[in-house]
Amino acid sequence: MFHRIIKKARIVDQQRENLSLMLANIAELNYYTLDQFKKRLYVEKRRAERLNTLSSMIIFDLAIDGPLFIRTSDLEKLVRLICANVRESDGVSLYNENKILVLLPDTNNDDAQYVSNNLMRQLDSVSYNSRQLPREAALKINVEIISFPEKAVNNELSARNINLLTNEVHLKSAPQMSTRFRVINKHSINFTKSSYENLNLCVASQQISTIALPMANNLLFQQEMLPNFVHFASKVIKRATDIFVSLSLLLLLSPMLLLLSLIIKLTSKGSVLFSQTRIGYKGKEFRFIKFRSMYADSDTKVHQAYMEKLIKGKTLEINNGSQENPHYKIKDDPRITPIGKILRKTSLDELPQLWNVLMGDMSLVGPRPPIPYEVKIYENWHYRRILDVKPGVTGLWQVSGRNKTTFNEMVRLDINYVENWSLLLDLKILLKTAKAVFFAEGN
């Protein structure tokens, strides 16, 4: 048995060596190594977000039933075939030895389905070493398409809670919606198209998507194009710091937390804590908690209407300050209790969020976690603030103007934080936050 394991390992090593040689022989203009493909994908995603164009990525999964079912020499011909049948401006690459990726810039999901069917049709006619690729093998190829930024299907949105870190997808309300595309021949694929609102993308698959979201997690939502040990170590230290500080503060401040809970309970009806669904890292929904500062059962329509105007840039309608000194905050909000005004002024209402930090849904420093109705009206480039980093109790926006900034300025601050993140920057923000809390600078 031991000899069989050694023999199998040698075969795998030989296959990988053959694959490396094969990849080195592909010189087509639109073929990229995986690292090159990631860089190209990064640029196209940013361009699509800013110019409001649509791009798609087709995934041909060749190992749907287990190990790779075609030889390395056949795989090379298959890659060359795809390169020859897409535009020179498109990109083709190989992922994990068994998935062929095709990037289609300026191509929506329906057009990407058309391209997919055309490419699959080629498998019926191409010859590999004077033999046909078995039709039953060709039909086993799983094809999925990721389109970005594209979240609407038939002008409707399916509400979903997505946790890409564990590759779980939970249907929250609407059922999957299907879109039947034109039939090229009798082997044409009928795709099922589903939208993922919080990720600002949609996925087309033959039945149920199995690889698109993990691929999006690995390729589309990576902040670092070339992760390195220093970056990885910094992330580990950041999480360790979050756990240590949040747990220490919860224990240290427990007498104060109990006292505040008692005051809130005695001064107004309702629960001590306010719980609300928020959108976190990579579109994951979580239960956000803070001390209740409003009267129980307060209507959220006031805040929803205000946020819609703020996000859409209608600042003149919501500016409660002057043109020189703007103030974007609901003025004299009747929903806030007398104790709530003090809690908000001192930012003490935020203390229960330390529990969210301890549980890993939030970090000490990061963008403000949005409410689902905010995300629904985001522009494409706004999504970076939830796709690239965990939300935080405090952040660069909170210490850089807060309610004096427009929504677009707030998002730019969040993006600036993402692109320039470091442990030192987190420390500076935390020190500025401590100063603002001590001098009750909250608005």
Residue 71 lies in a domain: yes
One domain, residues 234 and 302: yes
Residue 245 lies in a domain: yes
- What pTM was estimated for this model as a whole? 0.80
Structural domain containing residue 292: 229-438
Q: Residues 387-402: pLDDT tens digits?
A: 989 999 999 988 887 6
One domain, residues 60 and 131: yes
One domain, residues 132 and 83: yes
Q: What is the DSSP letter of 236?
A: H
Here the CATH number for the domain that contains residue 132 is 3.30.70.270
One domain, residues 261 and 410: yes
100, 167 in Cβ contact below 8 A? no
Q: Residues 239-289: pLDDT tens digits?
A: 999 999 999 999 999 999 999 999 999 999 999 999 999 999 999 999 999
One domain, residues 180 and 237: no
- The pLDDT value recorded for residue 189 is 78
Q: 130: phi > 0 → left, psi -120 to 50 → alpha, else beta; which?
A: left
Q: Are strands 363-365 and 392-394 parallel, antiparallel or unpaired?
A: parallel
Which of 198, 220, 242 lies at the terminal end of a domain, its last residue? 220
- List the alpha helices (DSSP H) in 52-128: 72-84, 109-122
Q: Is the pLDDT reported for residue 347 higher than 70? A: yes
Using CA atoms, how far apart are residues 71 and 19, in angstroms rounded to an integer?
A: 10
One domain, residues 273 and 358: yes
One domain, residues 243 and 190: no
How many domains is the chain partitioned into structurally? 2
At 234 the three-state DSSP class reads helix
Q: Is the pLDDT reported for residue 46 higher than 80? A: yes
One domain, residues 253 and 116: no
Q: 297: phi > 0 → left, psi -120 to 50 → alpha, else beta; which?
A: left
Q: How confident is the prediction for the chain on average, in pLDDT?
A: 80
Which of 220, 251, 271 lies at the terminal end of a domain, its last residue? 220
- The pLDDT value recorded for residue 185 is 42
One domain, residues 129 and 236: no
Classify each residue of 126-140 as buried b or exposed e, where b means 16 or more C-beta atoms within 10 Å of its C-beta.
Answer: bebeeeebeeeebee
Radius of gyration of the chain, Cα coordinates, nearest whole angstrom: 26
Q: Pick from 428, 44, 426, 421: which is nearest to 219 by CA?
A: 44
Residue 384 lies in a domain: yes
User: Locate tokens 């779980």: which residue?
Assistant: 168
Residue 113 lies in a domain: yes
Name which of 68-82, 168-182, 357-371, 410-424 the model is least confident about: 168-182
Q: Residues 94-125: pLDDT tens digits?
A: 998 789 999 999 999 999 999 999 988 876 66
One domain, residues 138 and 212: yes
Residue 323 lies in a domain: yes
Give the mean pLDDT of 173-184: 31
Residue 274 lies in a domain: yes
- The pLDDT value recorded for residue 326 is 73
Which of 220, 237, 257 lies at the terminal end of a domain, its last residue? 220
Give the mean pLDDT of 393-422: 88
Name which of 160-174, 207-221, 330-344 the model is least confident about: 160-174
Residue 443 lies in a domain: no
Q: Is the pLDDT reported for residue 414 higher than 80? A: yes
Q: What is the DSSP letter of 282?
A: G
Name which of 188-192, 213-217, 296-300 the model is least confident about: 188-192
One domain, residues 280 and 359: yes
- The pLDDT value recorded for residue 80 is 87
Residue 298 lies in a domain: yes
One domain, residues 269 and 371: yes
